[in-house]
Amino acid sequence: MQRSATLSPLPHRRARGLRLLPPLLLGLALLAGGHAAQARTPAASSATPAPQLAPADNPSCPAPAAKDPAVYQAESREPHPDRGVLWELRKGDDLAYLWGSIHVGQLPWIFPGPRTAQALRAAPAIALELDPLDPATLKALTEAMREDNDRQKLVMRQNPELQTRMGRMAFESCVDQTTWHTNAATLARLIALGMQDIARSGYHPAYGIDLNLAAMAHAVGRPVQAIETAQEQLLAMGLGGGGVPAQLATPDDIRKALNDIDSGKNRQVAQQLATYWESGDLAGLQQLMQDCQCLGDVGMQAALLDTRNQRMAERLPAMIAAQPKLFIAVGMLHMVGDNNLLQLLQKQGFTVRQLTGKGADTAAVAGTPAKAR
């Protein structure tokens, strides 16, 4: 499942926030999914050759996502509870459903619970931040990850030990060789390392909510609408494009990001985020974001959440009016903190009612939730 849309350009800032990469990686998981989609793309030229990666059966490697259709079919027959948080949005005669998503997950998570499934069945279309299966979106993400700009290349040439360390970590964690070689941009490789680290805890981008919502919608011919454009997200994430240079990751930025992976901090924060998402615990998620100072940099908060929330709040009313009962999925982090998307939609005149998760309106719950698995 995944995202897309357009408005004012996002601020271009130095990558101070890279040291806070663990939670940022969850926000970038759609880009990591783009890595997999790019596996057949010819490798980009790079001063440093792709490392020879460990074999797939290395016991230290994370288990790959399931490929056997029978595994998915068997899981689909199991009962699933409503995970995450689903809201009902009303404004006059306009009605829509908004689901807080997560871009990594576990296999059972891709199957919606009863209340969420009911909203999906009624929806004429699905709106995501981006459509991860749209060819133009994939092309834009691929190009952004292919190689560093000249300034970043200079940083990496002047600090060859960073390339060596990243290559060693890729080897030890069994990052796919084709992915590593194709996506040669430094930030793309940091994302790949972080996502592979998170996968060791059982959370895989292949099981991300947005990616699978998009796949299911396309499979049944349901329209998928993008709220943002790939270019807007790339700018927000510091990956540049469209004539705007990518953020420069300094040697200290890169070392801190790698240290967070090596120390287990990356995995710890990701596990907590995933736990709060699964249980629909908005208060816990907001407290975690405050405690870890994950978006402590004001510029990062503005680029990744505030500016994008405002843009989505401006675009969604027209989308909802045009598609009654539209099903919208946006990353859960957009629903907490100051200037969150829910607050902005309320300012637009929408009544917001929580249907699932902790604190849900019990009168809105349809049936008895299935036992959590």
* pLDDT digit string, tens, across residues 221-242: 999 999 999 988 888 777 776 6
Q: 363: pLDDT confidence band, cut at 50, 70 and 90?
A: low
- What range does the domain containing 268 cover? 16-44+65-364
Residue 9 lies in a domain: no
pLDDT tens digits, 259-288: 999 999 889 989 999 999 999 999 999 998
Residue 58 lies in a domain: no
Residue 357 lies in a domain: yes
Residue 7 lies in a domain: no
The residues, ordered by sequence, that sit 6+ positions from 332 with a Cβ below 8 Å of its Cβ are 84, 85, 100, 101, 102, 277, 282, 285
Residue 73 scores a pLDDT above 60 = yes
Number of domains in the chain: 1
Of residues 17, 259, 4, 31, the one with CA closest to residue 146: 31
Residue 235 lies in a domain: yes
Q: 33: pLDDT confidence band, cut at 50, 70 and 90?
A: very low
Residue 279 lies in a domain: yes
Which pLDDT belongs to residue 89? 98
- Tell me the C-alpha distance between 140 and 118, whole Å: 34
Question: What is the rounded average pLDDT for all residues in the chain?
Answer: 81
84 phi, psi to nearest 5 deg:
70, -160
In this structure, the number of other CB atoms found within 10 A of the CB of residue 8 comes to 9
Residue 293 scores a pLDDT above 80 = no
The residues facing 97 across adjacent strands are 88, 327
Report pTM.
0.82
Which pLDDT belongs to residue 102? 94
